[in-house]
Amino acid sequence: MAVKSIISRPVYGTLSPQPGSDHLLIADAEGAAAILDLAKSAPADFFAEAEIVFIPRDTGETYIAALKALKPARFYEGPSIAAALPRLKQRLSTAHMGLRLYLAGTEGLIGQAMQAALEAGIDHKSIQTEQRGSLARRVQCVHCKGITEDVTTQPARCSHCGLMLLVRDHYSRRIAAFQGVCINAEDPSEVPPMEEMFK
């Protein structure tokens, strides 16, 4: 699915197996399909020392058996991105030179995992990413600084302070979120209708 280019948004590619003996693959929802596609061209021993971290989200059991059939050295199924992040940070803190990192799925997962990797000292250019599935946005309210996950509407209501936000196309890598600005600051009684924009 083609996404209209936004200058501040990271550019996503297609996952492909890289040389190395230590691979960490992180995906949510339909991002699992990107790992399965990568596996089709991977060497026979690719997953022998690989770890797969998968957050099924609304895909349920759809991809779990296929991912386990790749026989990774380690497989973790997490209930949410937030629950998987401490595990990821721990793994990155003990990683050795040469770790290959692959991120696939929603922009929210990619952005948050990328943040953790950058904090661990991994150069963002050495991380492969592939956006798959929902285009829902992770949005930071510029007024209260709260983050609202999985925003699909324009405008959107801030889940922290309740303001109606215009979801801007500006993406901040630092916080892995789009920016949301109050859409009715001059007249709070004026509430524009919400439309599904980011599915």
How many other CB atoms are there within 10 angstroms of residue 23's CB atom? 23
Count: domains in the chain: 2
User: According to the model, what pLDDT value does residue 64 have?
Assistant: 98
The answer to whether residues 120 and 192 belong to one domain is no
Is 152 among the domain residues? yes
Contact 107, 54 (CB under 8 A): no
Is 117 among the domain residues? yes
Is 2 among the domain residues? no
The answer to whether residues 109 and 160 belong to one domain is no
Of 113, 131, 149, the residue at which a domain comes to its end is 131
Of 131, 164, 181, the residue at which a domain comes to its end is 131
Biggest CA–CA distance in the chain, Å, is 62
Of 90, 109, 131, the residue at which a domain comes to its end is 131
Range of the domain at 158: 137-196
The answer to whether residues 74 and 143 belong to one domain is no
**In this model, does residue 9 exceed pLDDT 80?**
no
pLDDT tens digits, residue range 44-88? 999 998 999 999 999 999 999 999 999 999 999 999 999 999 999
Sheet arrangement for strand 147-151: 147-151, 137-141, 177-182, 164-172, 156-157
Average pLDDT over residues 22-44: 97
**Domain at 57, CATH number:** 3.40.50.80
Tokens 């524009």 found at: 192
User: What gap in Å lies between CA 104 and CA 34, rounded to an integer?
Assistant: 6
The answer to whether residues 83 and 161 belong to one domain is no
The answer to whether residues 29 and 89 belong to one domain is yes
The answer to whether residues 30 and 66 belong to one domain is yes
Tokens 């929210």 found at: 108
Per-residue pLDDT band for 89 (boundaries 50, 70, 90) equals: very high
Is 43 among the domain residues? yes
Average pLDDT over residues 112-121: 93
pLDDT tens digits, residue range 162-194? 999 999 999 998 899 999 999 998 998 898 899
User: What gap in Å lies between CA 183 and CA 164, rounded to an integer?
Assistant: 6
Q: What is the pTM of this model?
A: 0.90
User: What gap in Å lies between CA 21 and CA 111, rounded to an integer?
Assistant: 25
The answer to whether residues 150 and 176 belong to one domain is yes
